[in-house]
Structures are given as C-alpha cells and as structure tokens.
C-alpha cells in the first residue's frame, strides 16, 4: 500500500478532501490505516504541484467527519508482467 495523503476536510457533498502525496487514477480504492476500504477516488482538483484528491466515502460504514486528520492509503500502480520472448 502507498500513502495517499491526509484528510483535510469534508466537502459540502460529503466527499473527503485529501492533500495528496501522489495522484492515483479516478476510481482507485482508498483504505484507512487498518486496510479497511474507505471509498474510492472521485476526482482530482487544485494545482498540479499540490493537488487534492476527492474521495467518495462508503457511508454505510463510515461517517466522513470521523476521518478528518487521518492518513489514507491506496493500492498503487499495478505491475505489468514481462512477456517472454518466443
């Protein structure tokens, strides 16, 4: 797992605003420090040098306000298998 960043606040629409260390692709799954699924990457906003990632929270498991200040994680890029030469 790779660190996504720290949750700064909850948006008006209930999404987490994460100050990103790295920018994953939209749709990537996001986890907490216990590797429990929190939600997924909904959007990326802000300047290129310091982007923010919006995370859509699974509200059946989490209250978004409880995650403010927490460090979140994501799977990271998947490695490609090397093809064998025939």
Tens digits of pLDDT across the chain (86 residues): 899 999 999 999 999 999 998 899 999 999 999 999 999 999 999 998 999 999 999 989 999 999 999 999 998 776 655 566 65
| pTM attached to this predicted model | 0.83
- Give backbone dihedrals phi and psi of 27, rounded to 5 degrees, phi first: 100, -10
Residue 80 included in any domain: no
Residue 17 included in any domain: yes
Three-class SS state of 67: helix
- E strand intervals along 1-86: 2-10, 16-20, 29-31, 37-45, 52-57, 71-74
Give the CATH number for residue 10: 2.40.10.230
Count of domains forming the chain: 1
């Amino acid at each position: 797992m790779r660190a996504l960043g720290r949750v700064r606040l909850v948006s008006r629409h209930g999404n987490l605003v994460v100050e990103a260390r790295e920018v994953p692709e939209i749709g990537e799954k996001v986890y907490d420090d216990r590797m429990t699924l929190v939600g997924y990457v909904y959007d990326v906003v802000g300047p290129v040098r310091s982007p923010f990632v919006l995370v859509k929270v699974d509200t059946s498991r989490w209250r978004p306000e409880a995650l403010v200040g927490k460090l979140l994680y994501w799977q990271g890029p998947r490695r490609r298998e090397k093809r064998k030469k025939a």
